Structure 1
């Protein structure tokens, strides 16, 4: 049903010829000093940086281009040029008790940065290693639900708008911005087709590469081989102008996306406050580990991987619980998909079980046709965290479902509810400290590996019971 809402929104955008808003609250936390990082790699060299533009919202970019990033010395010079910028930014975030945030144009650019961070950590240049370590914080956070460290402008915008094109086409930032703010008096598809002519990812256009860039790089390398300094500088200047013509529009489009999401029309979202606090805590631990000299491995050990899997799973639950409480659109999607029970209170009784022992029972009715409920499920009142019910029975009568439940917590709050009240019930309030507790429990359990994962097989321990004469008959009797 949530997918149906997305389809309806896209159909409305297609009908109007303009993107439509699908939320009223901000879905991403924009840091005041968030950095915009735009990088272009050379075709066939996914771990290279041919040109880079870096800056902040409302600030002109600082741009640096290398004529041929395949030369390691030139590539390292560009990366060393970036290091002081991020060292200063990270230090400022630590001093303020917050976290760094990097904005890139699209998911493709995000993947390019993540790949670079992995590779740079294992170079033989300490400054380049340091830059790789700093970028690794953002790269490792990128797949975590609700993370705010590495933001793709296309992902952030599509969380707020629905367009009249395919979801994969939304990954072109220029086309996406054209849907959001279409030029007046022009056909939307003609405008989008024009916007798509400009690259918006981490790669340049193949025709541009073949017709312009490759000949210029070849001429530069020939001049360097001939030791012709004047020609070398000339061709390097040509490459600089070419790459700036590609990278500036990408940087500007990313700025525009941030500006749209910074607009006051977006309402406050309390869920983002908790996510920001968690991000700041993770960043502080990451930098403390770097200060203590702990290296970042290329591959996690089995134990580290287990810890990360647990953290990701717990984070998914916490983020969903936070948004369903504080985000109107998320709650509506939950009600449509059936993960949130939206029921009308039709009966409430206080039953005496024994002297001084009472039980509060409730019955709710709902017309939701895709409800995901079964006996034993615990549901919490999304507007009153004190109230929790345990489902005892779900009965379908025609178009209406009747949900019987016992109040586990918040009995006084339950008795204050009026018959006819509409309640939204869903997952428990986010427990951000649960991950730490699970880590402590896992650390104790993993201190000694089970024999199934050990190198030495323990000796067999024969049973003290006598062996039955007919083993098959004894097993069948167990069944």
Structure 2
């Protein structure tokens, strides 16, 4: 966490209210997101108990499993979940637009631009907390390899046809959620904590009710007291008034309400199976239905407060203006969604249980690259974030006090103007360090030459050298407080984005009086070295030579149910 973040937390503790740590919204929010509030059975992370799901704030679809240990009921729950999520995905998969993408020509080996389809929008699934993201990933892993009755008539407990397809999509969303800056599967607690700082720990921020209490505390009340009530307040029956954000449940709820309700349901099923005549069967069927409704009501009582909290969080986030580079990151999410759609349509098998060495290395490199890109873009979009980077010595802002034209040596001299910047920041600079500023949306590079005396502080009795390079040497000073008042004056040499002519293009060179912000970090991230193809991976990383039994497990063959 940056120094700005620590300061905001201290102010939140002192003032009893959450403090902003961003001036713009750094994540994309869909105009029609699908909200998913899952609930799991205690002690069995892969056994769903229920969920609220839907795109309508006032009309969520209630899904529940009356007996989580029953495989058939569990598959029925997953099929109902697929009936809610897959149509939402299909709505976005069918609307495309033309886009250009750079690919390698297999014949010439050159990079060429080709026109391809890009989905005009991507479906966004919002969950309450990181636990919801982990649950989505777990569901995808447990569903995408399920065998259906058509695939294998002899398979025990065959899954409904659309369950494996939903598993593939949830797996993709779970993997994409690990990419920094992605908004396909955001957790509401992470979204709010990114833009506001509370007076509690980051672990406590994962309780959505407590986090919102800091943000919504009425005037004259303390956010800490409101958060404590959200975490601990209980009704007359001993149940939490603000249940956890899921998917875990409260032990008091499990022991006092849920366990007796499931026992009544099991007893009603046994009695219905033992009924001998129609009248008795009708009575016991009514008891079974009543037991199901009781479990459904319990699921709603635990998930509806969280459902409403997620929508309140979306309202708060919508009050912030969108960052300038958020749309660029969302476009990468759209490419990711379109790519997976194309893989499904082309008949590729499901994602393997384990990645090969090349795929795993590519994923790790992509996440590292996206993290660096996200950090840079958030700082460029948000002055408050940039302030944290300036305090850390990773950027500086100041006024241009002098701009002197200079040229490089060689047969064809190029413009290399020297710019003096007076700043109150203390960047971690060494001679030759590259710094960057945003010019027309692109980074312009400069090189730190050294510290200088300010022009007005040069002794008037010394004549000013005419040659710019000599002038720069005359201004150089090894002291970091080049100005007499302790304010550094930094000399920078501009090295690019000035056009190809002998004279720089208009506006490409800072002028005296300009207020600029320079960063020590790059604005764009470059790709790493090309990795070998999976079949050419060394044997030390799972490739040939070697026995096929030592290779990663292969996925099941694609079936008709895997096609959209």
- Structure 1 residues 377-423: Cα deviation after superposition (integer angstroms, max 9, x where no partner): 33221244363213345755255555444322034267742234332
Q: Which residue of 2 aligns with 1:48?
A: 47
Q: Which residue of 1 aligns with 2:405?
A: 350
Q: Which residue of 1 aligns with 2:531?
A: 442
Using the alignment, how far apart are the partners of 2:418 and 2:251 within structure 1?
Answer: 67
Segments of structure 2 that go 5 or more residues without pairing to the other structure are: 96-119, 148-158, 232-239, 274-283, 452-477, 499-503, 547-564
1:211 aligns with 2:220: no
Q: Residues 22-421 of structure 1 correspond to what in structure 2 (within 5 A)?
A: 22-56=21-55, 58-96=57-95, 97-124=120-147, 125=159, 126-183=161-218, 186-196=221-231, 197=240, 198-199=242-243, 200-226=245-271, 227=273, 228-263=284-319, 266-294=320-348, 295-352=350-407, 353-354=409-410, 356-358=412-414, 359-369=416-426, 371-384=427-440, 385=442, 387-393=444-450, 396-398=479-481, 400-401=487-488, 403-411=490-498, 412=504, 416-421=509-514
Deviation at 1:153, TM superposition (A): 0.8
Using the alignment, how far apart are the partners of 1:103 and 1:429 within structure 2?
Answer: 29
1:6 aligns with 2:61: no
Q: Which residue of 1 aligns with 2:472?
A: none
Using the alignment, how far apart are the partners of 1:122 and 1:381 within structure 2?
Answer: 49
Q: 1:207 to 1:284 in 2, by over 3 A?
A: same
Instruction: Looking at secondary structure, tell me which structure has more helix per residue.
Output: 1
Deviation at 1:329, TM superposition (A): 2.4
Q: Which residue of 1 aligns with 2:517?
A: 424
- With normalisation by structure 1, the TM-score equals 0.85
Answer whether contact 1:319 1:430 (CA < 8 A) is retained: no
Deviation at 1:24, TM superposition (A): 2.1
* Local SS of the residue matching 1:423: strand
* Local SS of the residue matching 2:57: coil
Using the alignment, how far apart are the partners of 1:304 and 1:14 within structure 2?
Answer: 45
Using the alignment, how far apart are the partners of 2:48 and 2:318 within structure 1?
Answer: 29
Answer whether contact 1:10 1:162 (CA < 8 A) is retained: yes
Using the alignment, how far apart are the partners of 2:539 and 2:262 within structure 1?
Answer: 59
Segments of structure 1 that go 5 or more residues without pairing to the other structure are: 458-479
Q: 1:318 to 1:191 in 2, by over 3 A?
A: closer
Q: 1:396 to 1:121 in 2, by over 3 A?
A: farther
* Local SS of the residue matching 1:50: strand
Answer whether contact 1:396 1:402 (CA < 8 A) is retained: no
Q: 1:223 to 1:322 in 2, by over 3 A?
A: same
* Local SS of the residue matching 1:150: coil
Q: 1:364 to 1:449 in 2, by over 3 A?
A: same
Answer whether contact 2:18 2:223 (CA < 8 A) is retained: no
Answer whether contact 1:57 1:255 (CA < 8 A) is retained: no
Using the alignment, how far apart are the partners of 1:278 and 1:456 within structure 2?
Answer: 37
Q: 1:386 to 1:210 in 2, by over 3 A?
A: closer
Using the alignment, how far apart are the partners of 1:33 and 1:178 within structure 2?
Answer: 25
- With normalisation by structure 2, the TM-score equals 0.73
Q: 1:288 to 1:396 in 2, by over 3 A?
A: farther
Answer whether contact 2:17 2:222 (CA < 8 A) is retained: no
